[in-house]
Amino acid sequence: MSELDTHTQVYRVDLGTRSYDIHIEPGCLDGLGKAMGDLFDTPSRCMIISNVTVATLYMAQVRNSLEQHGWQVSECILPDGERYKTMDSFSRIMDALMHARLSRNEPVIALGGGVVGDMTGFAAACYRRGIPFIQVPTTVLAQVDSSVGGKTAINHPHGKNMIGAFYQPRLVWIDPLVLTTLDIREIRAGLGEAIKYGLIRDAAFFDWMQQHMQRVQDLDAGDLSTMIHACCRHKAEVVMADETEQGIRALLNLGHTFGHAIESMTHYSEFLHGEAVAMGTLMAARLSEQLGYAGSGIEEQIRDCYQQAGLPTAIPNFSADAWLDAMGHDKKNIGDRIRYILLHNIGKAFVAEHVDPAAIRQLIHSYG
């Protein structure tokens, strides 16, 4: 990795009038109230949106920090899980916002992982045609990826994240210490998303991840901060270059076309998002080899890395028709064409829009 600066704590995501800071600092959760004071002229009403699990752990701490700085805080606490990333939960958030009578300039705070962050962002985009929102991500996945970049959404029975908007947060406030309460399986799923940046655009970071895999799983403070910094820098660079995914941002979807199909075919109940994306990435790597875009061995190299990270690497068994049908519902497709993110090398991904379905059938059959 070129320059790892573990001391830098703030990145600016420069998007003109939609610019914002990503603040990364162990222990910064208590400082949110002050930071919000710097962001808004006068403290007023705000709402913290979270889920039952995260609220039990961190709601009081965040609430205190805000109240100490003059904020009048209300809460909306949702059930926990991807299966609640729905229109019902969205309605519950809307009801809570109406009930609290938040006005156009009063912010919502997403306190949780990617599910809470995506839903809160979408609600913020819609309520009164847009109110400010703050991301306080509490999972590895959310700290290295989903809290930055303004993709917000809820799921529909016909597909994941099908209803949503690009809507940027006003601040991303990352406290790596909150990860100490996270389940090891969730930590590992988040590492899959961190490895992704190495695969797409930074071979040296891929090597770094391999060398530090045990230490980041053990939540070594220095290595964890280094990893989050590197990922946020990558994410910010990509988003600044292509906010609404007209070009290179699509590369961040490596593994997602197959991964979303795995999630949908297993009814969002068997695998975590990061696990499904890891398996999807292995499939993309095999397809890249099969089509001659990458030299042989790349799939094996990635599998070794995922195994070190404790991620699942056995692709679930479904018919080729089921795979193609599930992928046909992916929102990243253009018309009837399914888009794939493939690899030339570790560190070099590209978008392939003209993959013959016969090649996908061959890929699926290769898993027996």
Nearer residue to ligand GLY within complex by CB, 220 or 242: 242
Binding interface with ligand GLY (CB under 6 A) = 145, 149, 151, 249, 252-253
Cα gap 150→166, rounded to integer Å = 5
User: What single string gives the DSSP state of each residue in 289-341?
Assistant: HHTTSS-TTHHHHHHHHHHHTT---SPP---HHHHHHHHHT-TT-BTTBPPEE
Token output for 343: 């690899």
User: Per DSSP, which regions of the chain are E strands?
Assistant: 10-13, 20-24, 45-51, 72-78, 108-112, 133-137, 151-156, 159-166, 171-174, 340-345, 348-352
Q: Does 257 bind ligand NAD (CB under 6 A)?
A: no
Q: Which distant-in-sequence residues (6+ apart) come within 8 Å of 41 by Cβ? A: none
Instruction: Tell me how far, at minimum, the Cβ of 292 lies from ligand NAD, in Å.
Output: 30
User: Whose CB is nearest to ligand GLY?
Assistant: 252
23 is an active site residue: no
193 is an active site residue: yes
Nearer residue to ligand GLY within complex by CB, 145 or 275: 145
> Cα–Cα distances in Å, from 86 out to 83, 270, 284, 343?
7, 18, 29, 33
260 is an active site residue: yes
Beta-bridged to residue 24, according to DSSP, are 174
67 is an active site residue: no
Q: Does 242 bind ligand NAD (CB under 6 A)?
A: no
195: partner contacted, choices ligand GLY, ligand NAD, none (Cβ within 5-8 A by kind): none
Q: Which distant-in-sequence residues (6+ apart) come within 8 Å of 267 by Cβ? A: none
249: partner contacted, choices ligand NAD, ligand GLY, none (Cβ within 5-8 A by kind): ligand GLY
Selecting among 273, 275, 299, 339, the annotated active-site residue is 273
Instruction: Tell me the one-letter amino acid at 173.
Output: W
Q: Does 85 bind ligand NAD (CB under 6 A)?
A: yes
3 is an active site residue: no
Instruction: Tell me how far, at minimum, the Cβ of 245 lies from ligand GLY, in Å.
Output: 6
Cα gap 115→350, rounded to integer Å = 27
129 is an active site residue: yes
Which positions are catalytic? 129, 151, 193, 235, 245, 249, 253, 256, 260, 273
Binding site for ligand NAD (CB under 6 A): 51, 53-54, 57, 80, 82, 85, 112-116, 118, 138-139, 141-142, 145-146, 149, 151, 161, 178-179, 181-182, 186, 189, 273-274
